[in-house]
């Protein structure tokens, strides 16, 4: 440890360090840098959402383009309105379909990148390095939450926005924006809800687990286990409302409600689903906060 | 700057039913100090309290005049090297140190410059762009030391920095910490490898089962044990003749001879007088003394005496 370059003198820091406003940002950036170091998981996990976004966007593009070129003769005003209405409905259905498809990929990506965030820090003792610096437990929590949130947004929100943008720019006279702006808002809103709820749940599971592998297994157990339980109870009791024990069903119910699906498998009040999801998020964040605070106890 | 580096009063910290630290009152002066104790003595708990990582369950502690827990001001003036691995495997050494500097609030450029300097300082110049996952244990320890000193702190708290290092690495780490001490940085090092802290400093704090067992220089601590006999080993060509002469002294309580090895082990109640008398006695007895060693002055011996 006495290297050849060892002529430098120790320089105690004399300056003033301005307290950063967003102290979680360097930690968030570092988490993102670490997560994206390995390219293969990125490629595998985001191939699905990317392809879904691209394929559905292409279908939306084709839908508007074909209708434009397919119009051979003069069409009356009422005919044109009916044609546009049909186009918009089809695009709307495509968006609903894509949102349901990317959910699964988003779960995979968020679980992969989020499951190890807290438990691996605790296992390695990385939090000891952070908490010896001017960042608070809240900064730590926000940085980790944002990391999971970012991956979720890339998997759900990005394809949804891409499809909406393609629809807006390819619809004649931007009618998708003027007539179906609520679908765009609903797509963004639903994506954010999905990502926030899952980020909180995955972080909670990570905070309660010892290793990333256990956390990953637990996330899928929660998600798939409640689906299986809901299905089994619903079949045994011959009552569809037992699907309410399934987390996925609540997402589906809110998706049907906000995105305006014409037929929904579930009949219960959608406010229940929204309440359950927000309640779970609150509980999950409370667990994460408690575990992060407990890090000093078990440090 | 004057004043004690660390002041603790009736400091206690427990984890549920487990007592990590109990009723610890001490002052540690600036300079290099060693925190010594067997596993489970409470060293890491004390260092985490000093580094502001954990809160005291009872009592108070001040470090550089600050209450340490979650104190941003202290964090700018102190660096902590934890015992745990703590580093992200997929980052390079340079990235680790740089991003930890960014957490301190340094600009990107300043953080990079300081990270380079710190890694140079600990001898990781060539390995700085390699992934931490490929580092040896010694290189990881150096990286942790680099992150602790990169922001130019007045105090470096190092928890078991010698763990996992080979003998050369240990010597280098000792040299680095001693050099930091000479440059005016206060260093608090914990270890259970006694001769390393002895090589680094004469100031030590001895903990056992969460309590303060002794504090001061090794000699001072040894002085506290004046009632206990101190052991001296003498090698001589005529050990039996030397033993016969020494047993006559009233401050020699026992003599043991290993004739094959030419060694005489003496226990004395007054080391100073013993050393004063030994030379004339050995000359008179024509014992042919070849070496003289007092293990009792070593930290190991102090530790053996104090820890039941």
ipTM comes to 0.75
Name the average pLDDT for chain A.
Answer: 85
Least confident of A162-171, B171-180, B227-236: B227-236
Q: Nearest-CA neighbor of B128 among A66, A3, A26?
A: A3
pLDDT at A8: 44
Q: Is A125 on the interface with B (CB under 8 A)?
A: yes
Q: Is A138 on the interface with B (CB under 8 A)?
A: no
Residue B63 in this model has a pLDDT that exceeds 50: yes
Q: Which residue has the higher pLDDT, B2 or B125?
A: B125
* Residue in B closest to A38 by C-alpha: B90
User: B40 in the Ramachandran plot: left (φ > 0), alpha (ψ -120 to 50) or beta?
Assistant: left
Question: From the CA of B68, how many Å to the nearest CA of chain A?
Answer: 10
**Cβ neighbours, 10 Å, residue A209:** 23
User: B164 in the Ramachandran plot: left (φ > 0), alpha (ψ -120 to 50) or beta?
Assistant: left
pLDDT at A110: 94
Q: What is the pTM of this model?
A: 0.78
Q: Which residue has the higher pLDDT, B135 or A77?
A: B135
Residue A67 in this model has a pLDDT that exceeds 80: no
pLDDT (tens digit per residue) in A70-100: 555 566 666 667 777 777 778 888 888 888 8
Q: Is B151 on the interface with A (CB under 8 A)?
A: yes
Q: To probe the interface with B, which of A120, A133, A147 has the most B CB atoms within 10 Å?
A: A133
pLDDT-derived band at B130, boundaries 50, 70, 90: very high
pLDDT (tens digit per residue) in B241-297: 999 999 989 889 899 998 888 899 998 888 778 888 888 998 998 988 888 887 666
Restricting to A residues 143-182, those with a Cβ less than 8 Å away from any Cβ of B are none
**Residues of chain B positioned with their CB less than 8 A from the CB of A11:** 117, 152
Q: Is B15 on the interface with A (CB under 8 A)?
A: yes
pLDDT (tens digit per residue) in A133-190: 888 888 999 999 999 999 999 999 999 999 999 988 988 888 888 888 888 999 999 9
pLDDT at A15: 62
pLDDT at A4: 38
Contact assignment for B70 to A131 by CB distance below 8 Å: yes
């Amino acid at each position: 440890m006495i290297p050849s370059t060892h002529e430098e003198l120790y320089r105690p820091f004399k300056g003033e360090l301005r307290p950063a406003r967003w102290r979680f940002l360097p930690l968030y950036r570092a988490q993102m840098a670490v997560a994206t170091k390995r390219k293969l998981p990125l490629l595998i996990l985001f191939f699905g959402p990317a392809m879904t976004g691209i394929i559905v966007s292409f279908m939306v593009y084709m839908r508007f383009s074909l209708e434009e070129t397919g119009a051979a003769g003069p069409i009356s005003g009422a005919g044109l309105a009916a044609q546009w209405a049909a186009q918009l409905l089809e695009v709307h259905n495509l968006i609903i379909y894509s949102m349901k498809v990317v959910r699964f990929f988003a779960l995979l990506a968020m679980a992969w990148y989020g499951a190890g965030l807290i438990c691996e820090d605790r296992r390695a003792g990385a939090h000891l390095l952070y908490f010896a610096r001017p960042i608070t437990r809240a900064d730590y929590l926000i940085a980790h939450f944002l990391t999971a949130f970012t991956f979720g947004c890339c998997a759900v929100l990005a394809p949804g926005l891409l499809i909406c943008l393609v629809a807006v720019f390819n619809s004649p006279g931007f009618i998708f924006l003027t007539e179906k702006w609520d679908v765009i808002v609903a797509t963004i809103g639903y994506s954010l809800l999905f990502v926030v709820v899952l980020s909180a749940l995955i972080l909670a599971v990570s905070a309660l687990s010892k290793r990333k592998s256990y956390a990953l297994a637990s996330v899928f157990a929660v998600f798939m286990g409640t689906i299986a339980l809901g299905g089994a109870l619903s079949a045994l009791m011959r009552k569809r409302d037992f699907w309410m024990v399934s987390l996925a069903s609540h997402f589906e119910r809110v998706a049907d409600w906000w995105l305006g699906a014409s037929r929904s498998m579930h009949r219960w009040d959608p406010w229940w689903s929204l309440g359950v999801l927000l309640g779970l998020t609150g509980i999950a964040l409370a667990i994460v906060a408690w575990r992060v605070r407990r890090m000093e106890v078990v440090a | 700057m004057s004043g004690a580096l660390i002041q603790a009063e009736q400091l206690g910290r427990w984890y549920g039913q487990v007592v990590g630290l109990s009723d610890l009152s001490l002052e540690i002066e600036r300079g290099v100090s060693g925190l010594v104790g067997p596993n489970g003595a409470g060293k890491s708990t004390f260092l985490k309290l000093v580094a502001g990582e954990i809160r005291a369950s009872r009592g108070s502690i001040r470090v550089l005049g600050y209450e340490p827990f979650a104190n941003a001001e202290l964090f700018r003036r102190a660096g902590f090297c934890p015992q745990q691995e703590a580093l992200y495997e997929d980052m390079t050494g340079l990235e680790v140190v740089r991003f930890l500097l960014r957490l301190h609030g340094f600009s990107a450029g300043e953080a990079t410059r300081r990270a380079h300097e710190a890694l140079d300082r600990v001898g990781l110049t060539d390995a700085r762009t390699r992934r931490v996952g490929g580092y040896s244990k010694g290189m990881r320890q150096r990286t942790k030391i680099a992150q602790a000193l990169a922001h130019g702190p007045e105090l470096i708290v190092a928890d078991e920095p010698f763990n996992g290092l080979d003998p050369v690495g240990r010597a280098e780490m000792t040299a680095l910490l001693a050099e930091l001490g000479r440059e005016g940085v206060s260093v608090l090092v914990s270890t259970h490898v006694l001769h390393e802290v002895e090589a680094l400093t004469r100031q030590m704090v001895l903990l056992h089962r969460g309590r303060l067992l002794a504090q001061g220089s090794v000699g001072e601590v040894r002085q506290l044990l004046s009632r206990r006999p101190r052991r001296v080993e003498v090698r001589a060509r005529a050990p039996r003749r030397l033993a016969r002469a020494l047993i006559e002294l009233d401050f020699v309580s026992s003599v043991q001879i290993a004739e094959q090895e030419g060694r005489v082990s003496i226990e004395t109640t007054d080391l100073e007088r013993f050393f004063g008398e030994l030379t004339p006695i050995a000359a008179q007895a024509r014992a042919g003394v070849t070496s003289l060693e007092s293990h009792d002055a070593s930290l190991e011996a102090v530790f053996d005496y104090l820890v039941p």
